[in-house]
Structures are given as structure tokens and as C-alpha cells.
Structure 1
Amino acid sequence: MELDQLRYFLQVAVDGNFTRAAEHLGISQPALSRSIGRLEEEIGQPVFERQTRCVSLTDAGKLLQGRAKEVLSILEDTLAEIVDDGQVGRIRVGAIPTIAPFFLPGLLRRFSQDYPQATLVVQEETTEALLKACADGLVDVAILALPIQAKYLEIEELFEEELLLVLPPNHQLVSKESIELSDIDQIPFVLLGEAHCLSDNIVSFCRRQSFHPVSVERTSQMATVQELVSLDHGISMIPMMARRLDQSRRRVYRSLSGVKPTRKIVAVWNPYRFQSRLLEAFRKTLRDHVQTLSGDEPAAS
């Protein structure tokens, strides 16, 4: 049994389709089919149930999937430990879409300056997908927002940031010195789609304050939320890190009076995988970067 056979098998299991798996692996579909066929001959039974447009794992395939992940993880950790010099290597960083474009560029630039021989690979995904990637060893460290549910993963709180009210510049609330939650009652909200935890943070905060935001539009990108607010489609709440990079005069940011909406940003990793000196250095750079940003926050307006 060859390692490539295991890698090919796992890719087919993920994609559920030989054609897509072959594209991801960069090989021809016949070559992939032959490799899986040889694997099944060696095992003595099929690992996939083949249907017209997809495949699914047999009981033998499900057992092999778990063992194959373990074998490849052990091999990867062993190779990483052998060559670990604290300077050369690959760090796979994950972040959710409401963090990645605002927080990662400065962090990655800072780390690359200190460790020019290191390779950084970025994966932007939902919280659920990144937690699974961490558990499977496909991501070395993920930057997420609470709440999260994760077993057997290390969670380190990095910082808490305020969610600012964002308004079009001609909105009647812009001139108010102090904006209360009662002032935005019944005003339409533009929110991210349900797959994004930021919307959950906003809705949960409002409900705790006995306030129910009226959502009229949902979108998949933070930039689209900001643009829709600029066009007077509604109001929204935006993380401080996104406001920090927004230089547009077509939007106005305000801090709510009283109890303020916030979210907590955390780093997550799998402590059961090999922790290279380079990964430790990246986490230290991450903490230093957070400290730098904490002393450089703009005013809400």
C-alpha cells in the first residue's frame, strides 16, 4: 500500500466524485481510478459504493478513512520534526471571512519579515470548516470568533473588539451625541448570511438587550454590507478591525451608548499535532501583533 494511494483515497472520500478528486489532485481520472482499484484489490473489498454521479464510503472505506488520516498525520508530523529548525517550514493559517481580510495582512507581513524562509498558506472558511480542518491537521492555527464548540482543540483568547454601528452619512442619527438601542428600534438592518457567526453575535447581543433587529437584506461579504449601508438600504454593526481599514466618507461609525456589542477573537489549534518551533514563533508573532493593534484603534466616528 502506497502513501499516494491513501492520499488519493482521502481526496475521493472528501469530494464524493472521481472527476472532482482527480482535478484537485492534478492527475487524470483513469489514473485515479486505477490507483483506487489497486487499493481495493490489496484490501480485498471495495472502499467505495459507486453510483452514477457520486461515490460513498463502504464500511471498510469508513474504517480506512480514519486510519489513513492517522498514518498521514504521523508521517507529516515526523517529517516536520526532522527538519524543524525554527526558520524553514510551512504554516497553514485559517480565518473566518469577517477576520481574514482585515486582520491577516498585517500579521502575515510582520511574520514574513521576521521569517523570510517560511511559507504561509491561508485558508478562509467558515468556523465549522476551520474547526474540522484543525482537528484533521489541515490547518495549523485558525483565528475565529467566539462562541465555538471544539473538542480536543486548544483555544487562546486574543482580544475583544467592539462592534460599531455603521450609518449612511445623511442618516438622522448621525447628529445625535449619544445613540441608544432604542434609537435604532425598527430601523432595517443589513446583515451577513446565516453561515457567518458575526450575524449571530449581533442578533444575540440585541436579544440580550430585549431588542430584535429587523433584517431586510443578507449578503455574504462584509464589503457588501458596508456598501448597502452607504446606499441607505439600512444600518448594521461592523467589527472595529473592519472600521480601522475603512477610509470612505460614505459611511459613519458610531459607538452605542451603554452596554456595547462586542465579539471575542481567539486562536485555535490542535495540541495533539507536532508543534514546530516555527509554529510557536508564529503564535508569538500573533500575540505581538494583537498588542500592537490594541494601542492603535481609531475613534468610532
Structure 2
Amino acid sequence: MEIDQLRYFLQVAERGNFTRAAEDLVISQSALSRSVQRLEDELGQPVFERKTRSVSLTDAGLLLQARAQQVLSILEDTKAEITDDGQSGRIRVGAIPTIAPYFLPDVLRQFSAAYPKATVVVQENTTDHLIKSCTQGDVDLAILALPLPAKYLEVEPLFDEELFLVMPKDHALADKKSIRLSDVEPLPFVLLDEAHCLSDNIVSFCRQRSFQPVSVEKTSQLAMVQELVSLSHGVSMIPAMAKSIDHSKQRVYRSFAGRKPTRTIAAVWNPYRFQSKLLQAFRQQLQATTR
């Protein structure tokens, strides 16, 4: 049983299709099929149930998937530990779309200046996907918003940030310096779609005050939420980090009176994976930047 066979097997299991897995691995489909076939010959039973256009794991395949992930994780951690000099290497960092473009650039600039030999690879994705990537070791650390539906991951809160009401510049509430939640209760909202946790933060805050925001439009990009607000499609709530770099004169931001809506930003990682000196330095940089 070879390491490449395990990698190939895991890719097919992930994609559920030999053709797509072969494209990802940049090998021919026939070579991939032969590799999996040799693996099945050695095990004496199939690891995939072949269908017309897809494959699914058999019971043996499910067991092999768990063990193969463990084996490859051990090998990767061993190599990382042996070559860990605290100055060079690669860190894989994940962040949700409502954090990555606003918070990470300053962190990356400062870290790059302090560790010029290091490489930081950034992956932007939704919370559920990044939790899975952290658990499986596909990313070394993720920057997410609490709460998290995750077990067995280490969570380090970094900071809280306020959510501001954003509205068109000529909105009836634009002249108010402070907004009450009752002021926006009858207004239509533009929100991110269900895959983004920011919408959960907004809805949760409103529900705690017996108020259900009425969403008239949903989009997948925070910048599009802001643009739709400018076009008078509704109002929304925007994190402080996004507000701070918004120089448009077509919309205005206001703080809520009383208890303000906030979200907590946290760093998340798998404590069962090897933590390199470089990764520890990156975590320290996160703390320094938030301070």
C-alpha cells in the first residue's frame, strides 16, 4: 500500500467521481482507476460502490477513509516537525468572506515583514467548510465568528466588533445619530444568504428583542449587500471592519442605541495536529494586531 494510493483514494472519496478526482490530481482517469483497483486487490474487497456517474464508499471504504486521513496527517505532521525552523515554511489560513478582505491584509503585511521566508496561503470560505478543513488538517488555522458548531477544535476569541446599521444617504433615518431597534422593525432588510454566519448574528440579535427582520433580498457578497442598500433595496447591518473601509457617499452608517449588536471574532485550530513555531508566531501576530 503506497502513500499516493491513499491520497488518490481520498480524493475520489471527496469528489465522489473518478473523472473530477483525476482532474484535481492532474493524472489520467485510467491511472487513477488502476491505483484504486490495486488498493482493492490488496484489501480483498471493494472500497467504492460504482454507479453510472458517481461512486460512494462501501463499509470498507469508510473505514479506510478514516485511517488514511490519520496516516497522511501523521506523515505531514512528522515532516513539518522535522523541518520546523520557526522562520520558513507554509501556513494555510482560512477566513470567512466577511472577515478575510477586511481584517487579514494588515495581519499578512505585518507577518510578512517579520517572517519574509514564510508563505501564508489564504482560503476564503464559509464557516461550515472551514470547520471541516480545520478538522481534517486542510487548513492550519481559521478566523471565524462565534458561535461555532464545532467539537474538538481549539477556539481563541480575538475581539468583539459592533454591527452598524447601513442605509441609503437619503433614508428617513439618516439624520438620526443613534437608532433604536424599533425604528428599523418595519423596514426591509438586505442580508447575506444562509451560508454566511453574519446573517445568523443579525437575526439572533433581533430575535432576542422579539423582532424578526424581514429579508427582501439575499446575496453571497457583503459588498453587494452594501450596493443594494445604496440602491434603496433595504437596510442592513455591517461589521465595523467593513464600515471602516467604506468611503462611499451613497450610504450612511449609524450605531444602535442601548445594547448594540456585535459579533465575536475567533481563531480556530485543530489541537491534535502539529503546531509549528511559525503557526504559533502567526497566532501571536493575530493577537498583536487585534490589540
Query: Smaller-chain TM-score range?
Result: over 0.9
What does residue 295 of structure 1 align with?
none
What does residue 133 of structure 1 align with?
133
What does residue 273 of structure 2 align with?
273
Amino acid across the alignment from 2:37 = G
Please state how far the C-alpha of 1:27 moved relative to its aligned partner.
1.0
Query: Given that residues 167 and 251 in structure 2 are in contact (C-alpha distance below 8 angstroms), is that contact kept between their aligned partners in structure 1?
Result: yes
1:45 paired with 2:28, answer: no
Q: TM-score if structure 2 supplies the norm length?
A: 0.98
Distance in 1 between residues matched to 2:268 and 2:177, nearest whole Å: 39
Deviations along 1:205-247, whole A, 9 cap, x unmatched? Answer: 0111122211100111000000000000000000001111111
Question: For structure 2, which runs of at least 5 residues remain unmatched after alignment?
Answer: none
Amino acid across the alignment from 2:219 = T
Written as runs of structure 1 = structure 2, the 5 A alignment for 1:1-301 is 1-291=1-291
Distance in 1 between residues matched to 2:18 and 2:178, nearest whole Å: 59
Distance in 1 between residues matched to 2:261 and 2:93, nearest whole Å: 27
Deviations along 1:5-59, whole A, 9 cap, x unmatched? Answer: 0000000000000011011111111111111111111111111001001000011
Q: Secondary structure at the match of 1:170?
A: coil
Distance in 2 between residues matched to 1:17 and 1:102, nearest whole Å: 36
Please state how far the C-alpha of 1:124 moved relative to its aligned partner.
1.1
Please state how far the C-alpha of 1:178 moved relative to its aligned partner.
2.6
Superposed structure 1 runs of 4+ greater than 3 Å apart? none
Distance in 2 between residues matched to 1:167 and 1:280, nearest whole Å: 41
* Aligned residues between the structures: 291
Q: TM-score if structure 1 supplies the norm length?
A: 0.95
Please state how far the C-alpha of 1:265 moved relative to its aligned partner.
0.4
Amino acid across the alignment from 1:247 = H
Identity value in percent: 71
Q: Secondary structure at the match of 1:216?
A: strand
What does residue 294 of structure 1 align with?
none
Q: Secondary structure at the match of 1:173?
A: coil
Amino acid across the alignment from 2:132 = K
Distance in 2 between residues matched to 1:181 and 1:273, nearest whole Å: 44
Question: For structure 1, which runs of at least 5 residues remain unmatched after alignment?
Answer: 292-301
Q: Secondary structure at the match of 2:250?
A: coil
Distance in 2 between residues matched to 1:152 and 1:4, nearest whole Å: 28
Distance in 1 between residues matched to 2:28 and 2:243, nearest whole Å: 46
